[in-house]
């Protein structure tokens, strides 16, 4: 019988999984929730989030933004960085557009945020209206480029990168009077109605969207007859990466890095804090002996509006065909660990 002893202040969970090669893995996941203070200090949150065993959406699955991806996986290349929040004009000033950004270690991303704009069809010329004033604007994929359009033959065409977005159109006449995206890629701003810019966002990408979907592999007749129920032979571990590609740290982060949020908090245009360095250990008892498992930081999720930080660590033990020989796993924090992080300098 598999047992878990969690001696940390965080939440933890386990599962036995099978990878694309048929190897059995014993996976232990530790999920830490922290509270962020106005001064940049980080403390263990009183309300610890449970480990997500399936994706969690803001609304109806498939028709709303992803909030949390499934967190128990065999492998996860690098560390995901995601921000779920709102763009704020500095100190409450009124703006027509601004840039919002996140950076940590060698990972950084900026999005350009605009007030409400429409495509205006006047005097046989299609042009966008000037952006309206705003002081805050949610950063979500519903407000980024994407969506669906009906082709002249009546067939619906969907932007697989962001089916819930706005601005995707098949015909010029279909965009007149329609809103433009509020969230854009600053290096590929929309100029024409038929532009197809990269989807801009700071949040996680659902597993059925591109580019994640392509990494899942080919589920064809050959797969059904030769490999099912195993994953396809061309399955790519990058399928488990939920963050936008430019917000994935190829070399896993370890904690202790400084994170900077620009125009993403209401009171501080530049909010800086240091990621906690939680020195976790995972020891597992098998039928024969005790093993020390290595552990990796898979996900960093920041919710600035709630002043909350979530960090997800994973430890995967390749058991070959012997996962049933796992008896017990113990999760500990190394002694003398200060779970409170002081503000980052600079």
Which sign, positive or negative, has the C-alpha torsion 89, 90, 96, 102? negative
pLDDT of residue 337: 45
45 pLDDT above the threshold of 70: yes
Tens digits of residue pLDDT in 142-179: 999 999 987 777 778 899 999 999 999 988 888 889 99
Distance CA 205, CA 68 (A): 9
pLDDT at 180 over 70: yes
Is residue 71 very low, low, confident or very high in pLDDT (cuts 50, 70, 90)? very high
Tell me what pLDDT residue 315 has.
97
Parallel, antiparallel or unpaired: strands 156-158 and 85-88: unpaired
For the entire predicted model, the pTM comes to 0.93
The pLDDT of residue 173: 86
For 67-105, give the DSSP string: EE-----S---SEEEEE-EEEE-GGG--BSEEEEEEEET
Rg (CA), the chain: 22
Distance CA 167, CA 190 (A): 10
Burial 221-237 (b: 16+ CB within 10 A, else e): eebeeebeeebbeebbe
Mean pLDDT of the chain: 93
Share of the chain above pLDDT 70, in %: 96
Q: What is the rounded average pLDDT of the residues 7-25?
A: 94
> Taking 50 as the threshold, does the pLDDT of residue 247 lie above it?
yes
Enter the DSSP assignment of 231: P
In the chain, % helix, strand, coil (3-state, to 5) comes to 10, 40, 50
pLDDT at 153: 73
In this prediction, residue 343 carries a pLDDT of: 59
Burial 33-68 (b: 16+ CB within 10 A, else e): bbebeeebbbebbeebbebbeebeebeeeeeebbbb
pLDDT of residue 297: 98
* Residue 194: how many other CB atoms lie within 10 Å: 12
Predicted pLDDT of residue 151? 76
Q: Is the pLDDT of residue 346 over 70?
A: no
- Reduce the DSSP state of residue 118 to 3 states and report it: strand
Compute the average pLDDT of residues 100-110.
97
How far is Cα 96 from Cα 68, in angstroms, rounded to an integer? 31
Return the sign of the alpha-carbon dihedral for residues 104, 108, 114, 116. Answer: negative
pLDDT for 271 beyond 50: yes
Residues facing 17 on adjacent strands: 25
């Amino acid at each position: 019988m598999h047992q878990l002893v969690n001696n940390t202040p965080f939440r933890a969970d386990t599962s036995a999984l099978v990878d694309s090669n048929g190897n059995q893995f014993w996976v232990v996941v530790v999920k830490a929730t922290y509270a962020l203070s106005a001064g940049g200090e980080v403390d263990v949150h009183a309300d610890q989030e449970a480990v997500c065993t399936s994706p969690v959406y803001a609304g109806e699955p498939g028709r709303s933004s992803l909030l949390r991806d499934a967190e128990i996986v065999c492998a996860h290349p690098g560390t995901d960085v995601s921000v779920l929040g709102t763009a704020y004009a500095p100190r409450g000033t009124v703006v027509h557009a601004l840039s919002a950004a996140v950076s940590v270690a060698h990972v950084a991303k900026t999005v350009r945020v605009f007030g409400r704009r429409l495509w205006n069809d006047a005097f046989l010329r299609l042009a966008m209206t000037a952006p309206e004033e705003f002081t805050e604007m949610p950063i979500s994929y519903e407000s980024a480029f994407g969506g669906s359009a009906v082709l002249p033959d009546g067939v619906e065409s969907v932007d697989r990168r962001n089916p819930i977005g706005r601005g995707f159109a098949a015909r010029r006449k279909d965009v007149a009077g329609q809103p433009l995206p509020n969230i854009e890629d600053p290096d590929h701003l929309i100029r024409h109605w038929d532009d197809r810019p990269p989807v801009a966002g700071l949040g996680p990408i659902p597993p059925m969207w591109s580019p994640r979907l392509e990494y899942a592999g080919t589920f064809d007749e050959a797969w059904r007859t030769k490999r099912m129920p195993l994953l396809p032979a061309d399955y790519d571990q990058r399928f488990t990466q939920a963050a936008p590609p430019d917000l994935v740290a190829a070399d896993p982060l370890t904690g202790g890095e400084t994170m900077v949020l620009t125009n993403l908090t209401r009171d501080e245009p530049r909010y800086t804090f240091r990621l906690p360095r939680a020195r976790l250990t995972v020891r597992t008892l098998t039928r024969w002996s005790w093993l020390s498992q290595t552990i990796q930081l898979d996900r960093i999720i920041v919710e600035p509006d709630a002043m909350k930080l979530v960090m997800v660590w994973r430890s995967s033990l390749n058991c070959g065909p012997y996962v049933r020989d796992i008896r017990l796993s113990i999760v500990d924090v190394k002694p003398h660990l200060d779970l409170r992080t002081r503000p980052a300098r600079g």
